[in-house]
């Protein structure tokens, strides 16, 4: 008998999880531990995976010139797609005007709003770790990435005696981490069942929320849909010259995992596996671009942040000028770059936009109640954009892929 493909297994698990979570919300603790174990296992491999992946990728790229070229392409793709997403969001929020007449009484208290108050300059400075071991402990992705790129690059600058064993060592480490990944992925259907059952059981007043926040949710979901179903596939087709449908199929498992976990970081091991083994992108490119993408490339978050900030302005009756709206665009880009690839990170970094245009930070409380569901959707778009970036960059580097 032919084995059911993994993403179908996960989808079936997801449906059962929705049923279980809504029918037996009080019995959810009997299954939620399955999700905890799965998430812990994914988190367990992220730091060594990123380290090994980037070092092995950078040593594979070889010299400074190629690394620079690839770096510029990657960053250009990340910024361009995030801006495209933001402009779609801006257009929709101006057309739909979801915040006009919104019920301010729904606002909830949010703690820790100062978390994102560091200026963008500070954030940039903090990319350089003072103690790399502390960064490993804290899971400080940007610092780990920065250190790994430097480390990998300077391996290529050493003599043969050191270069070969070090390169082999990190290639081997990466191989082992990927083997562990494949092992953990086998448990994805069970893990995702546990995660989604709990999420569903916590959404008790979903119907009421949809009634009151419906327009806002429609604006965000429509924007995300346009980005994932039109904008990115167009880029795949016309710049990448690959078949978007085949690519979609190739990365279905990480997409459903992103949807279920709301975390680009936790999904990263599955993303690397799918883009490498199913889409056929080389290790050199996947291992450099995907960890970076999971940390800084967040198209879905950027679009969401733009709509959310404009929604808050509308709800408070503040008319934003053209210049202010452009400030929203730029700060939404920065806020999405600054958001970590973990659940609800985007909700907190909205404060960057709100402070830039002088809106009350408490506005975040207004959108808190529906954040979870939107987070699931925007994380899916974030991860899809990372995979498209790897594919498009691989094609511009002359690679032949399995999805053409
Ligand atoms: N959860 C998102 C991610 O991991 C970030 C966000 O909160 O927007 O990609």
- Return per-residue pLDDT of the chain as tens, 404 residues: 567 888 889 999 999 999 999 899 889 999 999 999 999 999 999 999 999 999 999 998 888 888 999 999 999 999 999 999 999 999 999 999 998 877 666 666 666 555 455 566 777 788 899 999 999 999 888 899 999 999 999 999 999 999 999 999 999 999 999 999 989 989 999 999 999 999 888 876 667 667 778 899 999 999 999 999 999 999 999 999 999 999 999 999 999 999 999 999 999 999 999 999 999 999 999 989 999 999 999 999 999 999 999 999 998 888 899 999 999 999 999 999 988 899 989 988 898 899 888 888 888 888 888 888 899 999 999 999 999 999 999 999 999 999 98
- Position 21 in a domain: yes
Among 315, 307, 304, 303, which Cα is nearest to 374's? 304
Spell out which residues line ligand 1, taking CB within 6 angstroms: 262-264, 298, 301, 339, 341-346, 375, 378-379, 382
Give the residue, out of 139, 332, 346, with the most ligand 1 atoms within 8 A of its beta carbon, to mutate for a pocket test.
Answer: 346
Question: The tokens 């990190």 sit on which residue?
Answer: 170
pLDDT attached to residue 109: 64
Centre of ligand 1 to C-alpha 146, Å, is 21
pLDDT attached to residue 101: 77
pLDDT attached to residue 119: 63
Give the residue, out of 257, 264, 294, 383, with the most ligand 1 atoms within 8 A of its beta carbon, to mutate for a pocket test.
Answer: 264
- Position 402 in a domain: no
Residue located nearest, by CA, to atom 1 of ligand 1: 343
- Position 97 in a domain: yes
Centre of ligand 1 to C-alpha 345, Å, is 5
CATH number where 335 lies: 1.10.3860.10
The C-alpha angle 247, 47, 66, rounded to 5 degrees, equals 60
Q: What are phi and psi of 348, to 5 degrees?
A: -80, -40
**What is the spatial distance between Cα 224 and Cα 65, in angstroms, rounded to a whole number?**
36
Centre of ligand 1 to C-alpha 285, Å, is 23
- Position 214 in a domain: yes
Number of compact structural domains in the chain: 1
Sign of torsion over alpha carbons 142, 143, 146, 152: negative
**What is the spatial distance between Cα 249 and Cα 3, in angstroms, rounded to a whole number?**
16
Among 272, 288, 55, which Cα is nearest to 181's? 272
Residue located nearest, by CA, to atom 8 of ligand 1: 346
- Position 403 in a domain: no
274 in Cβ contact with 250 (< 8 Å): yes
- Position 324 in a domain: yes
Give Rg (Cα) of the chain. Answer: 21
Atom of ligand 1 nearest to the CA of 340: 5
Which helix (H) or strand (E) segment holds residue 327: the answer is helix 322-338
Domain extent at residue 187: 6-396
pTM passes above 0.75: yes
Atom of ligand 1 nearest to the CA of 379: 9
- Position 1 in a domain: no
- Position 404 in a domain: no
Atom of ligand 1 nearest to the CA of 343: 1
């Amino acid at each position: 008998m032919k084995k059911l493909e993994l993403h179908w297994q996960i989808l079936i698990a997801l449906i059962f999880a929705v049923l279980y979570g809504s029918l037996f919300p009080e019995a959810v603790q009997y299954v939620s531990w399955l999700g905890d174990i799965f998430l812990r296992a994914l988190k367990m491999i992220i730091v060594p995976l990123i380290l090994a992946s980037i070092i092995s990728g950078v040593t594979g790229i070889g010299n400074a010139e190629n690394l620079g070229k690839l770096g510029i392409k990657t960053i250009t793709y990340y910024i361009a797609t995030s801006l495209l997403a933001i402009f779609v969001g801006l257009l929709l929020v101006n057309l739909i005007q979801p915040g006009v007449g919104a019920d301010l009484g729904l606002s909830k208290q949010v703690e820790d709003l100062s978390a994102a108050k560091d200026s963008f300059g500070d954030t940039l400075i903090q990319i350089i770790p003072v103690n790399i071991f502390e960064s490993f402990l804290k899971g400080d992705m940007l610092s780990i990435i920065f250190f790994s790129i430097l480390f990998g690059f300077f391996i290529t600058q050493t003599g043969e005696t050191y270069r070969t064993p070090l390169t082999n060592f990190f290639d081997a480490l990466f191989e082992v981490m990927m083997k562990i990944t494949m092992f953990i992925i086998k448990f994805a259907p069970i893990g995702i069942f546990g995660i989604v059952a709990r999420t569903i059981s916590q959404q008790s007043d979903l119907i009421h929320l949809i009634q009151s926040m419906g327009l806002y949710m429609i604006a965000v979901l429509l924007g995300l849909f346009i980005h994932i179903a039109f904008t990115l596939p167009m880029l795949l087709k016309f710049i990448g010259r690959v078949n978007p449908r085949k690519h979609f199929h190739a990365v279905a498992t990480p997409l459903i995992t992103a949807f279920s976990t709301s975390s680009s970081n936790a999904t990263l091991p599955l993303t690397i596996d799918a883009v490498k083994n199913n889409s056929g992108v080389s290790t050199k490119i996947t291992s450099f671009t995907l960890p970076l993408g999971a940390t800084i490339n967040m198209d879905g978050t950027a679009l969401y942040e733009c709509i959310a900030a404009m929604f808050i302005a509308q709800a408070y009756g503040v008319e934003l000028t053209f210049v202010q709206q452009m400030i929203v665009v730029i700060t939404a880009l920065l806020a999405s770059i600054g958001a970590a690839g973990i659940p609800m990170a985007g909700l907190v970094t909205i404060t960057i936009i709100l402070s830039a245009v002088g809106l009350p930070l408490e506005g975040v409380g207004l959108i808190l109640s529906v954040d979870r569901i939107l987070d699931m959707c925007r994380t899916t778009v974030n991860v899809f954009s990372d995979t498209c970036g790897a594919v498009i960059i691989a094609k511009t580097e002359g690679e032949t892929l399995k999805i053409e």
